Amino acid sequence: MASSAGDRLAVIKRHLVCHKRCRLQHETPEGSAVGNCSDEAVRKGRQHKGVGWQPVASRPPTPTAPTVPRRRQELLKWNGWGYKDSKFVVHKEKDYCIAFTGERYKIGNLVLPHFADWVKNTLGVKFDDCSPPQPPPEPQAYPEPIVEQEFLDEVQTLGITHSLDGEDRLFRAHGHTLAEIFTLREGMFPRIPDLVVWPKNHSEVEKLVDLASRSQVALIPFGGGTSVSGALLCPEEESRMIVSLDTSQMCRILWLDEKNLTARIEAGIIGQDLERQLQVRGYTTGHEPDSYEFSSLGGWVATRASGMKKNIYGNIEDLLVQVKVATPRGTVERYTAGPRVSAGPDVHHFILGSEGTLGVITEVTMKVRPIPVVKHYGSIAFPDFSSGVNCMREVAFHRCQPASIRLMDNEQFKFGHALKPPTDLMGLLTDGIKKMYITRIRGFDLNTMCVATLLFEGSEQDVALQEKRLYSIALNNGGIPAGEANGERGYMLTFVIAYIRDLGFDYGIVAESFETSVPWDRVYALCHNVKHRIKSECKERGIKHTFVTCRVTQTYDAGACVYFYFAFNYRGLSDPVHVYEEIEGNARNEILGCGGSISHHHGIGKVRRQWMSQTFSEPSLGAIKAVKQYFDPENIFANGNLL
């Protein structure tokens, strides 16, 4: 993974030397730099496509196999989140202690001594009342595939890898909403893809799209399968054959242009593979959504994803330089790689957030950066949530956000504590002293205080400056530095928290997260009102044990992104998913009422379609429909998302 500081310095040095050499070799008499690092490269680089420019790879790409195999079931759970070997388990023999298995995460193979008490007290869990999931379906349990023989024959003739196997189809029938995972545990989807195809490159995708149009077959692009908007669900009423077009075999970095700091990448690559391959060469995209271990580049573009380090690197729309999309109308792309183009509305913005409704994103040119020399974690404790929000606002006002800054409310702060592994005597002492300092000396109340986690990236000097500014703003808002270890743990837990829901299901707990963006002057009120609304909705339905919490995860000049987590004990309820959806629906109405948006980064899919008319005026929705009608008049991309 990440190289050492020495390696990174060497890369940056090489980058600067190369840059200088390029300028020296190719500066024209007028002083403007042209071409690439060698004459040969300049000659090869002038390959016109339309009016475009194809840069030359400074080093040949190294092909590597994708981490997630084509048969996803070999590595991933069929009915839950993530790797098969990584999960929370309850050790009955050790007084119902909870532990996390596997070696992939730092929390792995550790018993979490406080977690069991937390789930018992907060969510009323009874460990002797376990409801395990159903076993994997028998072959005859999968819905019979609808087969369009002409399409299947031609796929065979073209030599495109494909499968009619029930498991393969089921793995691509869903994303990771509560309702989807609950269905896997308890039942079966009424409709799943009839066939899965794995094209290897843009040309194969073009052929498949053309063939689907000719044979009247519906296509659903599949990236990493981490959607949380119902975007991958097959519409029940679709009577045509549904083909899941799995992009995972399109996973090469086609070229890396070290001079312009861009890379051309096939869209099926998943985040961890992309970063690993770039980091070996000394670069990073810096795009790190919490799902980046499994989500794909094409999926990020299709959903307008946001990564935790967007403050430095930008969201996906800031990182994208060019994109290539195979649609029934033909290939959509902008030929020029200019960093900004004033040429009418940006066609890229039809594609960003199109959620698989227009075509298949096959290749993306993305910005890359040299790996930062320094990476520091940090954390700040605040006496209460409003001081924390004020601090976040001031940091954004002065535009001095570090790579990531996230503010957790008191409930989440306590939850983080419940996930702490055992500490040795020294750790206990240090924790005791810290607790005494925070509560007795600073007068913080453990039931109101909250914590922000920080991640700084950059040069030694930049990071030192960022830390100084940030901690001084925190002090102005009543915050005190709470250490690097707390910050690092916070970010590590980001990846592990997604595994908790599967444990909850076993003990009658349903859980989900949802998010929004909101102007600064409404952040605090929105957080307060939405949490209050969820709790009163639960009370009305007789739900006694709930966990409702939020965090501010992204900051902008004009507002912030707020993320809610919500769990409740559903014992005694006959249809917990329906109850959950009703409550989340009312929470979403509350969000919109408080000035929040329909979504900051999860997208619309099918679960948020009903709020589109409150988000856009009728003519705006008409324009979105017209774009769909133009690119895909026969609704080949028939996943039914957005509208």
Ligand X SMILES: Cc1cc2nc3c(=O)[nH]c(=O)nc-3n(C[C@H](O)[C@H](O)[C@H](O)COP(=O)(O)OP(=O)(O)OC[C@H]3O[C@@H](n4cnc5c(N)ncnc54)[C@H](O)[C@@H]3O)c2cc1C
Q: Which residues are annotated as a binding site?
A: 221-227, 303-306, 355-361, 501
CB of 373 to ligand X, least distance (A): 25
Greatest Cα pair distance, the chain, in angstroms, is 81
Select the residue interacting with ligand X from 489, 602, 608, 628 (CB under 6 A): 602
CB of 61 to ligand X, least distance (A): 19
Select the residue interacting with ligand X from 217, 267, 450, 577 (CB under 6 A): 267
Provide the β-strand partners of residue 90. 98
300 is a contact residue toward ligand X (CB under 6 A): yes
At 617, the amino acid letter reads S
479 is a contact residue toward ligand X (CB under 6 A): no
Question: Which residues belong to the annotated binding site for FAD?
Answer: 221-227, 303-306, 355-361
Nearer to ligand X, 116 or 234 (CB): 234
Residue 371: CA atoms inside 13 Å, Cβ hemisphere, count?
23
Secondary structure of 245-293 in the HEC alphabet? EECCCCCCEEEEECCCCEEEEECCCEHHHHHHHHHHCCEECCCCCCCCC
The C-alpha atoms of residue 14 and residue 22 are separated, in whole angstroms, by 12
At 145, the amino acid letter reads P
Select the residue interacting with ligand X from 168, 204, 290, 488 (CB under 6 A): 290
Select the residue interacting with ligand X from 289, 353, 372, 576 (CB under 6 A): 289
At 400, the amino acid letter reads C
CB of 492 to ligand X, least distance (A): 14
305 is a contact residue toward ligand X (CB under 6 A): yes
CB-CB contact of 244 with 162 (8 Å): no
- C-alpha distances in Å from residue 515, one per residue of 72, 93, 576: 28, 39, 21
328 is a contact residue toward ligand X (CB under 6 A): no
Q: In degrees, to the nearest 5, what angle opens at C-alpha 630 toward C-alphas 625 and 635?
A: 75
Select the residue interacting with ligand X from 222, 255, 456, 520 (CB under 6 A): 222
Nearer to ligand X, 299 or 576 (CB): 299
Burial (CB count within 10 angstroms: exposed 0-12, middle 13-18, buried 19+), residue 339: exposed
Active site positions, annotated: 563
Select the residue interacting with ligand X from 601, 606, 608, 628 (CB under 6 A): 601
Nearer to ligand X, 465 or 612 (CB): 612
Chain centroid to CA 615: 23
Query: To which H or E segment does residue 45 belong?
Result: helix 39-45
DSSP 235: P
Token pair recorded at residue 107: 């929390």
The C-alpha atoms of residue 638 and residue 220 are separated, in whole angstroms, by 7
The C-alpha atoms of residue 213 and residue 477 are separated, in whole angstroms, by 59
CB of 307 to ligand X, least distance (A): 6
Segment interacting with ligand X, rule: CB under 6 A, options 148-156, 301-309, 433-441, 622-630: 301-309
223 is a contact residue toward ligand X (CB under 6 A): yes
Nearer to ligand X, 296 or 477 (CB): 296
Nearer to ligand X, 202 or 414 (CB): 202
Segment interacting with ligand X, rule: CB under 6 A, options 57-65, 182-190, 217-225, 573-581: 217-225
CB of 369 to ligand X, least distance (A): 19
Q: Which residues contact 307 (CB under 8 A, 6 or more apart)?
A: 286, 287, 288, 289, 292, 313, 315, 316
Token pair recorded at residue 72: 């996803």
224 is a contact residue toward ligand X (CB under 6 A): yes
CB-CB contact of 631 with 329 (8 Å): yes
221 is a contact residue toward ligand X (CB under 6 A): yes
CB of 208 to ligand X, least distance (A): 12
Select the residue interacting with ligand X from 272, 295, 322, 516 (CB under 6 A): 295
Select the residue interacting with ligand X from 195, 323, 361, 503 (CB under 6 A): 361
Select the residue interacting with ligand X from 168, 204, 333, 355 (CB under 6 A): 355
The residue number whose beta carbon is nearest to ligand X equals: 299
The count of residues interacting with ligand X (CB under 6 A) is 37
302 is a contact residue toward ligand X (CB under 6 A): yes
Nearer to ligand X, 11 or 511 (CB): 511
Selection from 536, 527, 520 nearest residue 586 by Cα: 536
The C-alpha atoms of residue 438 and residue 381 are separated, in whole angstroms, by 8
Question: Which residues belong to the annotated binding site for substrate?
Answer: 501
Q: Which residues contact 373 (CB under 8 A, 6 or more apart)?
A: 5, 8, 9, 12, 458, 459, 460
365 is a contact residue toward ligand X (CB under 6 A): no
Q: Contacts with ligand X in 227-266 (CB under 6 A)? A: 227-228, 231-232, 247
The C-alpha atoms of residue 636 and residue 215 are separated, in whole angstroms, by 10
CB of 245 to ligand X, least distance (A): 8
177 is a contact residue toward ligand X (CB under 6 A): no
Q: Which long-range contacts (CB under 8 A, 24 or more apart) does 34-37 make?
A: 36/257, 36/259, 37/259
498 is a contact residue toward ligand X (CB under 6 A): yes
562 is a contact residue toward ligand X (CB under 6 A): no
Residue 355 Rama label (left phi>0; alpha psi -120 to 50; beta): left
395 is a contact residue toward ligand X (CB under 6 A): no
Nearer to ligand X, 353 or 370 (CB): 353
CB of 326 to ligand X, least distance (A): 9
390 is a contact residue toward ligand X (CB under 6 A): no
55 is a contact residue toward ligand X (CB under 6 A): no
Selection from 613, 596, 593, 612 nearest residue 604 by Cα: 612
455 is a contact residue toward ligand X (CB under 6 A): no
286 is a contact residue toward ligand X (CB under 6 A): no
- Report the interface residues with ligand X, using CB under 6 A: 175-176, 220-228, 231-232, 247, 267, 289-291, 295-296, 298-300, 302-303, 305-306, 355-356, 360-361, 498, 601-603, 639, 641
